[in-house]
Structure 1
Amino acid sequence: MNDQLDAYWMPFTANRQFKQAPRLISRAEGMHFWTPEGRKVLDGVAGLWCVNAGHARPKIVEAIRAQAAEMDFAPPFNMGHPKQFELAERLVKLTPPGLSKVFYTNSGSESVDTALKIALAYHRVRGEGQRTRLIGRERGYHGVNFGGISVGGMVANRKMFGAMLAGVDHIRHTHDTRNLFTRGQPEHGADLADDLERLVALHDASTIAAVIVEPVAGSTGVLIPPKGYLERLRAICDKHGILLIFDEVITGFGRLGSPFAATHFGVTPDLMTVAKGLTNGCVPMGAVFASQKIHDAFMTGPEHLIEFFHGYTYSGHPLACAAALGTLDTYADEGLLTRGAKMAATFENVVHSLRDHPNVIDVRNIGLVGGIELKPIDGQPGKRAFSVFLDCWEKGVLIRTTGDTIALSPPLIIENQHIDQIIGTISDALKRAA
């Protein structure tokens, strides 16, 4: 093992394997990374679902540089700086009507825990403090803080960490083998939302605070919501007074060809978490969008007292706000929040061209998100996809794998030749791995 690599314990990484054959990147611009040796690598995953506008965008770079020189930090409690308020006003112009309040965090994981706390506290301040139960979904991913892994449903992220939050339950996931090789939203499975009624019958609605789902599940392997599923989930929550939380850390800011998945599907949640594309991945930042009704429920009692005892040292950090404003300018200049809709048909056709390749057992897509699921090697789950990942890396394309699913989420500036290169490289790797 290289001694210069020894001190760093890497996240979500096979550390021993990596340090025997490091994959280092040292520069990025546009659609590409470069290795320290100068090898060019096409970014097929927008960094980690976050660099939606591509790398090293001038307005974002300059906004961060200028802000660092002007003011490096401002205390967020009982103080504010202008960019926090400017950014919030611009963000709520993009959200679905009704989501008119913004609470800043520093990551998707923090956004999820913040939304869960808002949901619990909301019921408390309005006199229904017995609503303490939180409902997640099997195969859900909501970051890695204790709240997120509790409502999450990915076993490897949960099994090592004890009992987690009490009073959490899960509805069924939406993967249905009747929908294999569907293009876009699947036909079958709207009735899976009715699983929430099962938990209402078990626990009683009066004990349930909120349900949290990803509109499109990303890290579990790109699961697209069946037609009518999100609408039915919204209706059941309304019927029982349960808050609906959308985790849009991955789907937010243009990934589906609309500003948000809530916009895309025409279903508005009560709370919505974002991060990643908020700053184009340049400075860590997240946010929770809340409805006016939820916010106003807290605005009672003496005006000099804190209404919600929650926040972070770096909430609305000046550099993060500057990066986010530069990101929104870049999205607006190039129409990136809707560009995915223009590229979606091409992307869909090329991704589905892999359906007859060796060991491909499903292909899923929506907007500029693609999932290619591979048949696992007996007794070695995840190894087949990981071998394809390594092969593509050596051939100059960065993809992401989760289990035995290849996940694609390229920057929204992608052109046809980039799509062809990504899919062509995966095609060749699948054939070599057979």
Structure 2
Amino acid sequence: MNTVVQGPKFIVAKGEGVWLWDDSGDRYLDGTASLWYCNVGHGRREIADAVYRQMTQLEAYTVYGDFANVPALQLSERLAAHAPVADPRIILTCGGGESIETAAKLARRYFAAQGRPERVHLISRTGGYHGLHGIGTGIIGMDRFRDGFGPLVEDASVVPHDSAAALEAEILRVGPEKVAAFFAEPVIGAGGVYPPTPEYFASVAEICRRHGVLFIVDSVICGFARMGNWFGIERFGVCPDMIVFAKGVSSGYLPLGGVVAAGAIAEPFWDRPGNPFHHGTTYAGHPACSAAAMANLDILEREDLFTVALEVETYLDAAMRTLEDHPLVREVRSGTGVMAAVELTEEALVDRGIRTADVFAEARARGVILRAVPRALLVSPPLVITWEQIEHLVATLRAALDAVAAR
């Protein structure tokens, strides 16, 4: 907030494809698809038209109880058809944070309905980002997002993101009879773009199954073609108990998220009378948002952005790795999904006092928008980016690094 008060605001006025324009008419390459979500690019008229048509029929109405609407039902059927979850059921929300709250509450309520109310402990990973609602903040794997808010989720713990053995050790420490769920992103996104090892998810899925812990995949960033498939986790050949989704489901054109829950998780509420899941939000299942998502999924499938994303992933990886020789760069992480991180060296960050925000500012001044986290610059462009635009992005990032190093 203080930063905003101190200087002029950056006002985004227009978007088209991978490009943005500010209120002065200057153009910028959107190297982060806004906040990881604009998968099909900006300015897709058919999504706007779909929303307009829906709003002329029914703009919004609650889906509590037995109320429903056609777009929400169509979207749910479509998502269920592609979800790598056994007998999938869909709960729609307004975004990723709401979806994490929903999944965590459903996990705990599921065990209570099974006569095991003591199973409430939630485990997540270092670097894992799960939104900034109450439960999401409580299980986030980055201390800076929890500091100063007091206790939010007391029965929670964090394990190293790259160790299946550490997960099992934590389950045994807490006691399997007390653990409800384990949360993991297919690729850690906002925490710094950390892909898993090839065997990691097979191992954690087996550990969760063996101890009766629900395996919940947070696909908010990784879903809807960013990893070349529908939910990201398919890449690792495992079948989770729940998947949390948002962002790319509508490419951010309207707020939408949700949870895919296995039929076994739904059973106590779905098949038993008098056992409701007391949870919901005002705008969940919003018909206009669902219509936007349906039009967005039409684009993903018609333009086969699933295949395109795999090609973009390869080209982006090759281009980003040309920065590995820069004196400010410690490591480039890329090659699993259309996302990458450029981490700065300890010498740059500590000895020279260089901030990633400095590199971000230099890049933006040169017409490319990146995302700065404490140790790295993150890239996650729209999936429609071209090779020439990738080269422009990387060249601009190098120029920004050069400028900061010289200064």
- What TM-score results when the alignment is normalised by the length of structure 1? 0.89
Unaligned runs of 5+ in 2: none
Which one-letter code corresponds to 1:213 in the other structure?
A
1:125 is matched with which residue? 113
> What does 1:42-121 align with in structure 2 at a 5 Å threshold?
42-78=29-65, 79-98=67-86, 100-121=88-109
Partner of 1:31 in structure 2?
18
Instruction: State the alpha-carbon separation in 2 of the partners of residues 162 and 338 from structure 1.
Output: 45
Whole-angstrom CA distance in 2 between matches of 1:15 and 1:319? 36
Matches within 5 A, 1:174-193: 174=162, 192-193=163-164
Indicate conservation of the 8 Å contact 2:305/2:383, yes or no: yes
Equivalent of 1:153, from 141, 148, 154?
141
The 1:98–1:428 alpha-carbon spacing in structure 2 relative to 1, beyond 3 Å, is same
Q: Would the aligned equivalents of 1:53 and 1:280 in 2 still touch at CA under 8 Å?
A: yes
Which residue matches 1:138? Answer: 126
Aligned positions, number: 401
**How does 1:393-412 map onto structure 2 within 5 Å?**
393-412=364-383
- Is 1:299 equivalent to 2:278 in the alignment? no
C-alpha distance in 1 between matches for 2:44 and 2:299: 8
The Cα offsets for residues 232-267 of structure 1, whole Å up to 9 and x where unpaired, read as 100100110000001110001111122222111112
Aligned match for 2:297, one of 310, 328, 331: 328
Corresponding residue number in structure 2 for 1:262: 233
Compute the displacement of 1:85 (Å): 0.6
C-alpha distance in structure 1 between counterparts of 2:97 and 2:247, whole Å: 11
In the alignment, the residues of structure 2 paired with residue 380 and residue 274 of structure 1 have an alpha-carbon distance, to the nearest angstrom, of: 40
Structure 1: tracts of 5 or more residues without a match? 1-13, 175-191
Question: In structure 1, what is the Cα distance between the partners aligned to 2:246 and 2:100?
Answer: 10
1:203 matched to 2:190: no
- Aligned with 2:323: secondary structure? coil
Q: SS in structure 1 opposite 2:217?
A: strand
Distance, in Å, in 1 between the alignment partners of 2:157 and 2:366 is 43
Map of 2:403 onto structure 1: 432
In the TM superposition, 1:222-233 aligns within 5 A as: 222-233=193-204
Q: Which letter does structure 1 place at the counterpart of 2:323?
A: L
8 A Cα contact 2:32 2:381, kept in partner: yes
TM-score, normalization: structure 2?
0.95
Distance change (3 Å), C-alpha of 1:18 and 1:52? farther
Per-residue deviation, residues 243-297 of structure 1 (Å, max 9, x unmatched): 0001110001111122222111112211110110011101111100011111123
Q: Structure 1 pair 416/88, CA: closer, same or farther in 2 (3 Å)?
A: same
Q: Equivalent of 1:252, from 210, 213, 223?
A: 223
Whole-angstrom CA distance in 2 between matches of 1:225 and 1:107: 25
Deviation readout 1:299-328 (Å, 9 max, x if unpaired) = 2443xx462111101001111101101111
The answer to whether the 8 A contact 2:85-2:240 is kept is no
Q: Give distance in 1, aligned partners of 2:146 and 2:59.
A: 37
SS in 2 for 1:93: helix
Of the three residues 288, 291, 301, the one matched with 2:259 is: 288
